[in-house]
Each structure stands twice: as structure tokens, then as C-alpha cells.
Amino acid sequence: AKSRSHNRYQFYIATIDTEIRQRKKLEMDLHEALEHHELSLVYQPQIDFKTSQMVGAEALLRWKHPEKGLISPEMFIPMAESNLDIIPIGDWVLESACHQLHEWRQNGFSDLRIAVNLSAIQLRDKNIVDRINYLLNKYQIPPQRLEIEVTETCIMEDIELSSEQLNKIKATGITLALDDFGTGYSSLSYLKQFPFDKLKIDKTFVEDLPANKENTVIVEAIIQLGRSFGIEVIAEGVETREQETHLINSGCTEGQGYFYSKPIPEKEFAEFLRAWKNK
């Protein structure tokens, strides 16, 4: 019996060892992903409930690994954060999004806004404000057309520095959105403390609207909260007309989700834009 448990133990160690090695390998692959042109952005439309117009898009990062195929950002972003690769990758995301917006604007879609996710590491980067100003200038983007999304967890890691940085970013004139709202802690105090223009209701609350009574109450409370602070509220993860109707009736102003479109590559998005405009 003793040797059997010993074997099992060795097996366990070997498994962990393989996992660590595979993770290291993936991390090294990610380190070269930019250079190898394996990263791309997809865009998901954001719809204004009042006018039914497409008012913007969220840019979401994709990594196509040469052997493993698509890898989820939920998996590789934490990896890039752990070794600071998120700085060059995040820079690339910001620049690509600004470049894309510039192109849309030149094609006559000058009212569109683009939203970019910012990691905690990027938020604390001393160069981030200069970088944003540089890109706005380079791509001739009116600041209010660029939106930065940060999560509650991102801010929580260093409240003082986050506050300082967010105020500097806000001073550039771009829009600030608080992502995944309601999933972290002390949401309420953040709203008072930080210069957010917009709240994004997390998709876990939208998922089972209106059947789930708790989520219905939470969503209504978030929308009321946004209203009383004079902050826009957008819902993510809208998948059905029922959810949309419920959100509109609760006073939510914008939506994003599979009901309108999945996140799609630039080419498809351009077609979607034209089709939506002529609807």
C-alpha cells in the first residue's frame, strides 16, 4: 500500500511539473506573439437603446497560437500581466484600436466611439497618459471618442495610485468606464471617489434576466445608482430581446451582447456597420 501511494504521489508531482512546463512554454510563446503577428482585435457593437444607433464598439484581444489555435484572453492576459508583457501588448491594443477608429472616421463613421480594456499594470504605468495623448494626436481622435474600461479589481490593488492615474487620464478628455460593475468589493465608494463616466453592468447579472429575481433587483439598483450619480449605464452580455426589453424598462441606456453581434474582426465589422446604418 505504501509503494502505491508513493507512486500516486510521484504521478501527481509529474503532472504538476508538466503543467508548469507547459505554462512556461505558453508564456514564452506569448512573449513572441506580437512579433509573430498572432494577436488581433475583434470588435463588439454597443447599441444606444433610445435611438437604436450603434454608438461604439469594444475592442477585444485575440491570440491565435500557431499550434493550439485560439486561446482565451481570460487565460493569457493574466499571464502577460505576470511578466509585464502586458505593457507592450496593451500598447499595441491601444494603438491598433486608435488606428481602426481613425479608419472608421475617414469612412464617414465619425460618431463612433471605441472602448479599450486597460489592465491594472497599464493603469499604474507612468507613461500611460503621455501614450494616450500621443495616440489621440497621431490618429486625430477627439478624446471623447476613446473610452477606457477598467475593472473594480484593477483599482482595488492600489487605490491611491489608481485614483491619481484615473484623474490624469480623465484630464485628457477621454471617457472612463467601470467594467464588471458589481462583481468586486466596495463598488459604491468607488463611484464617489473616481471620475467614471460610465458603469458596465457585468454579464453575470444580465444572464438570467428577468427570471432571476435577485439579479433583476441588482440590475435595477445599479441603473438607479448610475442615474443618481449622473453616470451612464451600459449592460454587457445582452443575448435576448427579453433581456433588452427589461433593461430598457429599467432605464438602462446602452447594451452590448450576442443579441446584436458577437465580437467580430474588422472586415465583418465594417459590413455590420453599413448594414446597421441602412436598417
Catalog residues that contact ligand C2E under the rule CB under 6 A: 44, 60-61, 72-74, 77, 93, 117, 119, 179-180, 203, 236-239, 257-258, 263
Residue 40 CA to residue 34 CA, distance in Å, equals 9
Residue 235 CA to residue 243 CA, distance in Å, equals 10
Q: How far apart are CB 72 and ligand C2E at their closest, in Å?
A: 5
Q: How far apart are CB 4 and ligand C2E at their closest, in Å?
A: 42
Residue 264 CA to residue 41 CA, distance in Å, equals 8
Q: How far apart are CB 12 and Ca ion at their closest, in Å?
A: 32
Among 46, 100, 117, 261, binds Ca ion (CB under 5 A): 117
Residue sitting closest to ligand C2E (CB): 257
The contact mask relative to Ca ion for 177-196 (x = CB under 5 A, - = no) is --xx----------------
Residue 125 CA to residue 120 CA, distance in Å, equals 9
Q: Choosing among Ca ion, ligand C2E, none, which partner's interface includes residue 72 (Cβ < 5 to 8 Å by kind)?
A: ligand C2E
Q: How far apart are CB 177 and Ca ion at their closest, in Å?
A: 8
Comparing CB distances to ligand C2E, the nearer of 20 and 75 is 75
Residue 87 CA to residue 267 CA, distance in Å, equals 27
Q: Residue 199: beta bridge partners? A: 178, 233
Q: How far apart are CB 121 and ligand C2E at their closest, in Å?
A: 9
Residue 175: left (phi > 0), alpha (psi -120 to 50), or beta? beta
Q: Choosing among Ca ion, ligand C2E, none, which partner's interface includes residue 258 (Cβ < 5 to 8 Å by kind)?
A: ligand C2E
Residue 62 CA to residue 84 CA, distance in Å, equals 18
If you write DSSP's letter for every residue of 33-85 in order, what string do you get?
HTTTT-EEEEEEEEEETTT--EEEEEEEEEEEETTTEEE-HHHHHHHHHHTTT
> CA angle at residue 244 from 240 to 249, to 5 degrees?
150
Comparing CB distances to ligand C2E, the nearer of 112 and 209 is 209
Q: Is 125 in the site for Ca ion (CB under 5 A)?
A: no
Q: Is 254 in the site for Ca ion (CB under 5 A)?
A: no
Helix (H, G, I), strand (E, B) or coil at 192: helix
Q: How far apart are CB 107 and ligand C2E at their closest, in Å?
A: 23
Comparing CB distances to Ca ion, the nearer of 29 and 150 is 150
Comparing CB distances to Ca ion, the nearer of 154 and 273 is 154
Residue 124 CA to residue 109 CA, distance in Å, equals 32
Residues near Ca ion (CB under 5 A): 117, 149, 179-180
